[in-house]
Structure 1
């Protein structure tokens, strides 16, 4: 951001405001747009040498004399010199770069431009500043399957720091009242919070007065490591066997894969996820067509956890169900037919036998008259 104003004596001053660690463009151009490739222009800040150009001889090409504060951070615009532009850019600005700058053309009727640079400090880790809080100490005080109590401790900070617990999304978490202990103008601070979800948590320590901020991270896993999956055969039919793998209450979200005994990942249907309070129930199905030992592998990379279960699929006979049912029906029909034939033969023989007896009796009666 630039603004123009006038200093004592009527000289125009350009005010430039940038954030710390950003790049500052300090303007300096001749209104005549005279080519200055062979000229001399000199940038100074409070009497210190910032940048000097003299007919292509300049600090970045080996010329000596530049103040150590600006070494390797100040550059001009070579292609703009022919238009009378002697502006410079200061890379990675520091708070101490702020101040009054002059851009002078000693050989051109003493043209001098005035620039005021303001560098707005940002919050960042400044361990070199006296009283800056060190990186906090974080730990888990207590934990159950449903929650964890986290503690953040900072020692010897001055001025008094602000402590905050944040989740991985940057949300500030509710916490107990901080506990302060003051010793000779320095502060020890404890801040506790209770969390109920698996996540990466940060304790952030801020000291606005000295633009200092530091933090520490801890990982909390709440009762979410997947247990051994449940595997089963859902259907055995023509074309293969349908296998199902099921996991319940896993957090973070697990990855399920079906593999054969050689470790090859098998194609599967889209997994079915059900989310409940940050935990996941997952079902994964696949169809196999070969006899083998099959494994359902459950992986949670974030917590370096993996578990699996195995199931054996026996030789698969095509149309086995239909064939068995047909064979039973055919056997029953044959048995009925055979039994019917046998009964028919028995009945026929019995009839013939009766007829013979009757015939024999009749013949004997004719031979023996009363």
Structure 2
């Protein structure tokens, strides 16, 4: 299946791209490929449905009828689009009727409609505006200004996509960020930065995204008042409801006379969570530096801490961005510290011993008193 992403340098005004149940605009550079999204709001197999793409309401761009379309013998496609349009055959089962127009031209600009005329209970029409801009050069010719960043999709499943943005030879060192179509910054690990000959910087930034949207890699050099960006469209048939931690556990790794080494493991969390150990009073326990790795669409984290007191310890995982918190806990008793039941038994034994002693003392004192009273009675004359 062809890669469901499209990278382009955007030097024109960009107004965003919406999901398939609304109207949107796609802006690309002349000569690049344009992905026009069209997808039913709910997953639906459309292998047996008819859908028709038209430009400005008249020109036939791409028509699909069960098993037949313009790329396998069907006639009627406008000459302007031969043979530059293709669809995603493998994604039809997920309701995706999106198309790609290859090697775009300025003349391709216009309004495109994607129509399902026979869809039940009613037909559906989607509108996308395509703007193809001519290749423009940076006329300011600023020394050291970052040139076009390059976006690639490293890995992708039905519910996440791992994006990479590469910037070459920028000076001064730029700030690189991923943003969604609403301008929100996508959480990402620290970028990889290296210097190359000539005093410039190469920057590589990776980010995992979990929704269908247009994502922008923004490169900013405030010192020279320069900013440039590239965009990519990501289609995810089954985006997850959220990236809450899928699995977590806490266990005892090692025990010595000095304390107990605890380990907390978190799997598949996105965005990256805050992980910490706390005691029964809610105090944060000092811990070793966390081991963090990326896997699929989330983060795996291992956190270790050494505790030196008998208590219940809790590993707390917090993801503020999605208002989610979960924890796991364990009870520990380091060597040299009596466990709770032993302490309780000792206290019970002491109380019993003291109580028993008092009872014996009272018994013999009472006996002595009665004996004394009895002796005095015997001395009374008859």
Which TM-score band applies after superposition, normalised by the shorter structure?
A: 0.3 to 0.5
TM-score for the superposition, normalised by structure 1: 0.33
TM-score for the superposition, normalised by structure 2: 0.32
Q: Between Structure 1 and Structure 2, whose CA radius of gyration is higher?
A: 1
The structure with higher relative contact order (CA 8 Å, sep 6+) is 2
